[in-house]
Amino acid sequence: MDSTLDVVLRLVAVLVVFLVLPLVVGQTEHKVMAHMQGRLGPMYAGGFHGWAQLVADGVKFAQKEDVVPAAADRRVFQLAPAVALLPYLLVLIAIPVGPHGFVGEAVDAGLFFVLAVMGVGVLGSLMAGWASANKFSLLGGVRTAAQLMAYEVPMLLTAASVAMAAGTVSLPGILDAFHWWWIPWQIVGGLVFFTAGLAELQRPPFDMPVADSEIIFGAYTEYTGLRFALFLLAEYAGIVVLCALTAVLFLGGWHGPMSGSLGWLWTLVKTGLLAFVVIWLRVSYPRLREDQLQKLAWTILIPLSLAQIALTGVVKVVIS
């Protein structure tokens, strides 16, 4: 009975985090972009500092008409938002937040699990593009597929580098094996992992699949109302997952002063700082062209990730 209650409480906690943190990131993005770019709109709703902007967005999406194009594959079209969103909920279950079993569910092959499930989330965009019966949506879906193939490789290779260093693919095991002197020689892998993750999430400057100046809004062009809101929620949930994974794999996760009692706080702080960097990049850099995006992956990120694996192997041999 106690074990069942423990599982239920852990799942409820993960669900609350899944429902709250992406909204916090979305609200933060409104405010950060408003400050950085002098935008008045996000600072207006509700009066003080635009505190009601998130509520206004929610009401707006709920009021919009739910439209399915006449020529669309209705079932696939309606299922795509859920396919895009739910994998991030499953990933959050396996990410350790603190020491002493502070994790939704400790998975032995946790690293493989989270990377595999994150890859499934991109299928939601592919399904949306294919099912919309719209050439711009289809182009967005094709670009999504090309981007996934290009950036999944460096992401997997740099994650494998951390697993080599720790000698395990369990995420709690990686944190147990973590040492602060890892950061200098894993930092290149961390940058590659973070960059590839941004590209998989189609975040600026890697948002060619939703380039509004070329293909309206890519795979999501035909979506309205709450279904469109689910795609936006999936994007922000992906930011939370990517930042948490980067913090766990490359920044020590819950490691920090008084980590025995404040480990969960260190994980949240590192995740929050990385999420701020994601927003900062959006307002700082222009969108890459499709050829530039592919060139970055195949000629820069993949060679760097291979070099990181080689360096990890050398360091392991020297240490042993």
pLDDT band, residue 250 (cuts 50/70/90): very high
**What residue type is assigned to position 162 of the chain?**
V
Residues 139-176 have pLDDT tens digits of: 888 888 888 888 989 999 999 999 999 989 999 999 99
∠ CA(264), CA(6), CA(255), 5° rounding? 20
Q: How many whole angstroms separate alpha carbon 221 and alpha carbon 137?
A: 6
Considering the entire predicted model, what is its pTM?
0.91
Q: Which two tokens stand for residue 65?
A: 């008409």
Cis ω before 172 (30° cut-off from 0): no
pLDDT at 81 over 60: yes
Q: How would you class 265 by CB atoms within 10 Å of its CB: exposed for 0-12, middle for 13-18, buried for 19 or more?
A: middle
Question: Largest alpha-carbon pair distance within the chain?
Answer: 64
Phi, psi (5° rounding) for residue 312? -60, -40
Give the orientation angle of helix 302-319 with respect to helix 182-200, to 10 degrees. Answer: 150
CB count within 10 Å of CB 37 equals 9
Distances (CA, A) of 294 to 53, 301, 302, 308: 36, 10, 11, 20
DSSP state of 209: G
Contacts of 239 (CB under 8 A, 6+ apart): 22, 25, 201, 203, 275, 278
Residues 267-282 have pLDDT tens digits of: 999 999 999 999 999 8
The mean pLDDT of the chain is 86
Q: How many whole angstroms separate alpha carbon 294 and alpha carbon 165?
A: 29
> For residue 11, what are the β-bridge partners?
none
With a pLDDT cut of 70, the percent of the chain lying above it is 98
With a pLDDT cut of 90, the percent of the chain lying above it is 32
